[in-house]
A and B are shown apart, each in its own frame.
Chain A
Amino acid sequence: MPSKDKIHQTIKTYILAELLDEDDASELSGDTELVRTGVLDSISTLKVVAFIEDEWDLEIETHEANVDNLGSIDAMTQLVASKLG
């Protein structure tokens, strides 16, 4: 199983590349609120979910795709780790 650090880094890299700019790297930390800041809206949330499912070959149920699980990189890392573990 990949380390939490590795999962965290993979998600961060994806979000920076797909949803943000390089300039944002220093601003983006594990607890940055992605939904409240509008980085994740309904469409970009679907993209992130699809990426996570592909990357680690797992399934995120509809009821799991909520702010608690996807609101920050830390929360996503936690979700992925719990599914893999």
Chain B
Amino acid sequence: MLLHAYLAESARVHPKRVAIVDPGHGSQTYAQLESLSDQACALLQSHGVGRGSRVGIVLHKSTDAVAAQYGTLKTGAAYVPIDADGPMIRAAVILHDSKVDALFVEASLLESLSQALSQARAPLDRPPAILVLDRVGGGAGLRRRAEQAGNLTATPVSTDDEDLAYILYTSGSTGRPKGAMLSHANASSFVEWASLAIGPCERDHFSAHAPFHFDLSIFDLYVCARASARLVLVSESVGRHAHALGDLLEREAISIWYSAPTILRMLVEAGEFERRPLPALKRIIFAGEVFPIEAFRRLQHQLEGRCFFNFYGPTETNVCTYYQVPDPLPDSVMALPIGKVCENLEARVVDAEGVVVPPGTEGELWITGPNVMQGYFQLETRNQRAFAQGPDGRRFYRTGDLVVAGSSGRLEFRGRRDRMVKRRGYRVELGEIEACLQSHPEIRAAAVTATSRRDEGISVAAHLEHVDGRKLSGLKLRKFCATRLPPYMIPDVFRFYAALPQTSTHKTDYQRLSANEAAHER
């Protein structure tokens, strides 16, 4: 299945239904969004974009950006969504790395992006065609650009679902971003699975909270389009403010919500769910990082009777396991499981030699099936390490995540393989220390980093948010940890933050915490 076929089909069957709401900039029907994306397609085609091309998209979340993405897919090219709020140096690195043939950029960002592109290491062999959109919002910027070009007509292209649909850049552990390449077949396999798992209908209103460079957006955009439902864009600025988000949930009658746990926690802390009844809200899905259990219990309590889903999966596979949380969640549950393997995929839990481990034993999760990415863009050695061959010859993606299969086959997440450190001779999983600290009633969020000290081995630091913004005595926390963890897992230092630093995808920014910690050690 082709991703843009979801839009085309909804435009054919439900042309007058609202496809997209861009708050402050009105809405567009399926017929209008289809036509707008045809205009984007025609613009790109007039610059030579076609099958096998790549198109960078440096636009804020808007109808224009959505139409530009669909337009790119219609040409047969792959889109490369880039954080328009992020540093332009990083945008330039990604545009260079992905060797885009064309790019959409907002007029207000053009100068800083051009500067960053000219500073980037090597000049591009073939400079990309730059399509500047002025005053983006509601599709107006794209429509004006299309008019200037004389409202060209798109030429239909026959494409194959093995063609690349998008490249999502994720931060590499070396600090250099790497581009995960997903084909239409990869993405639509996920969309079909998610549609069955969540069961949306055309009356649903989906939130689009995640930025488009984050793979949560694939659910928002295409599961919604497949259902001929309404997509409500959440701008970057609204997305960060609890009160504005609560307003949007209520006003737009959002029925299906999907975001990182951090955002839901923020709404819980701000009392947004207690203040408003939100009768339309039925399904709440979260993914991207571990939802601290105490915070989740508060959420479930505040939104009684709704369905909650914990989705798990790296960008490289999109969602590969899921857990529908029982209501109420039994008190005995200490951490939310990541659940069972998606029905369209197969998983294997293996030891360091790639041998399957028995249930109850910790191992690395390997995934195979139609969701799994094609590979990282032009990173041959990384690709060799990312995949492993199963005994039956099938290609597995090595997630690098450690899991345990319970007797029911339900998987529990234990942490990252690369977050395992050796301390005083013991294997220490930093995520386990985090889970312990997060179970403290006065801790809102915890992130644990390990830094090597020149003389004294590994130093473990806990970075914490207090529920009332206060500090707790380190010794008090040590006593708390001592009731749950062995001494070699107790952090060396406890630091309190008003708010833990976050990445642009609303995950805890470990790279920044580690860098701060390394600076302390010096």
Residue in A28, A36, A41 whose CB lies within 8 Å of B475: A28
Residue in B471, B473, B482, B487 whose CB lies within 8 Å of A26: B473
**By the criterion CB–CB under 8 Å, are A24 and B475 in contact?**
yes
Judged by a CB distance under 8 angstroms, whether B474 is at the interface is yes
A43 to B457, CA, bound (A): 11
Judged by a CB distance under 8 angstroms, whether A35 is at the interface is yes
**By the criterion CB–CB under 8 Å, are A39 and B456 in contact?**
no
Residue in B424, B471, B478, B488 whose CB lies within 8 Å of A39: B478
Given A32-B479, A33-B482, A37-B490, residue A24 in contact with residue B456 (CB < 8 A): no
A57 to B61, CA, bound (A): 71
**By the criterion CB–CB under 8 Å, are A41 and B474 in contact?**
no
**By the criterion CB–CB under 8 Å, are A38 and B474 in contact?**
no
A15 to B324, CA, bound (A): 48
Q: Which of B434-482 contact A (CB under 8 A)?
A: 456, 471, 473-476, 478-479, 481-482
With a cutoff of 8 Å between Cβ atoms, the chain A residues found around residue B491 in the complex are: 38
A27 to B482, CA, bound (A): 14
With a cutoff of 8 Å between Cβ atoms, the chain A residues found around residue B475 in the complex are: 20-21, 24, 27-28, 32, 37, 39
Given A24-B474, A37-B479, residue A42 in contact with residue B456 (CB < 8 A): no
Residue in B456, B476, B482 whose CB lies within 8 Å of A38: B482
Judged by a CB distance under 8 angstroms, whether A23 is at the interface is yes
Size bracket of the A interface: 10 to 19
A35 to B473, CA, bound (A): 17
With a cutoff of 8 Å between Cβ atoms, the chain A residues found around residue B492 in the complex are: 38
Q: Mark B487-504, 1 if CB is under 8 A from A, else 0.
A: 110111000000000000
Q: Which residue of A lies closest to B455 (CB)?
A: A43
A24 to B494, CA, bound (A): 12
Residues on A close to B: CB < 8 A?
A: 20-21, 23-24, 26-28, 32-33, 35-39, 41-43
The 5 closest A-B pairs by CB, nearest first: A38-B490, A24-B475, A37-B478, A27-B475, A37-B482
* A-B CB contact pairs (8 Å), 29 listed: A20-B474, A21-B473, A21-B474, A23-B473, A23-B474, A24-B473, A24-B476, A27-B473, A27-B476, A27-B479, A28-B475, A32-B475, A32-B479, A33-B479, A33-B482, A35-B487, A36-B482, A36-B487, A37-B479, A37-B487, A37-B490, A38-B478, A38-B482, A38-B490, A38-B491, A39-B478, A41-B487, A41-B488, A42-B424
